[in-house]
Amino acid sequence: MAETPHRSPVHDSLVERLGAAIVHGAYPAGSRLLTADLAEASGASRSAAREAVRVLESLGLVQVRRKAGIEVLPVGQWNVYAPEIIAWRLDGPGRARQLQELNELRGAVEPLAARLAAVHATDAQRQELVAAALSMAGHHRQAAEAEYLDADVRFHRTLLGASGNPMLGVLGGVVQAVLEGRTRHALMPHEANPDAVRWHRDVAFAVAGGEADAAFQAMSRIVGESEAAMGEAVDGELAEIPGDR
């Protein structure tokens, strides 16, 4: 969650409630809100409501217009890479579409990151990748539990950071959000796909050995398997997300 002064549980609750409501379409683009009304409806002070609105504004969900109140912005202006927005979308009717978009992003980004990591990773990053992959293997029978998730997140964040490209590295939070969302929404099997576990090891050892093509190929298999698994898990769900309203 974005850092703001004078944080309080009321403030956090208001950010969560309003952000989710906007993302889920309860307040269509172009809707006008007033700070006083938000404060009264939530039982928060006006200062807490103003701080909550600033957080939403930083996420591109709203714009404060002088003498016109708070305007809800269209999807095209949202910071769709923000972990908060990803989490809200995964919690709402657009979950299937959000997962599809995230998997498409991962398919474009992570194999490239693996190739670059084989060239640019530091010794510490190579060791961390191997350790994370081995931890995933050690917890593969509890793939829906915290220990496996922690190792999975460490693996992917380390890989993106090891690419040596800061523009890829900052996407670590995006990948973490989708991995956490899969676990939170019971989209992970109890036991991990053994092929996927092996491919994580393949990536780690290819990066450690400086084998760029092998790292690219193994990572491509991982994101392909993830996309197929998520497609099966959300088959039949609504895929619509709030559009430009």
* C-alpha–C-alpha distance, residues 9 and 43, integer Å: 12
Angle at which helix 146-162 crosses helix 95-120, to 10 degrees, equals 50
pLDDT score recorded for residue 238: 41
Query: Residue ranges of the domains in the chain?
Result: 9-77, 83-233
Architecture of domain 9-77: Orthogonal Bundle (1.10)
- Read off the tokens for 114: 């693996």
* C-alpha–C-alpha distance, residues 4 and 184, integer Å: 26
Q: How many residues does the chain have?
A: 245
Please state which of the four CATH numbers 1.10.630.10, 1.20.81.30, 1.10.10.10, 1.20.120.530 is assigned to the domain occupying 83-233. Answer: 1.20.120.530
User: Tens-digit pLDDT profile for the chain (245 aa)?
Assistant: 444 444 567 778 899 999 999 999 999 999 999 988 888 888 888 888 999 999 999 999 999 988 778 999 999 999 999 989 999 999 988 888 888 888 899 999 999 999 999 999 999 999 999 999 999 999 999 999 999 999 999 999 999 999 999 999 999 999 998 898 888 888 888 999 999 999 999 999 999 999 999 999 999 999 999 888 877 766 655 434 343 33
> The sheet that has 69-72: what strands, in order across it?
32-33, 69-72, 62-65
Q: Which residue, among 152, 196, 193, has the nearest Cα to 176 in the 3D structure?
A: 152
Beta bridge partners of 69: 65
pLDDT score recorded for residue 237: 56
In 3-state terms, what secondary structure has residue 64?
strand
C-alpha to C-alpha distances, 182 to 19, 145, 200, nearest whole angstrom: 20, 11, 18
Q: What letter represents residue 238's amino acid?
A: L
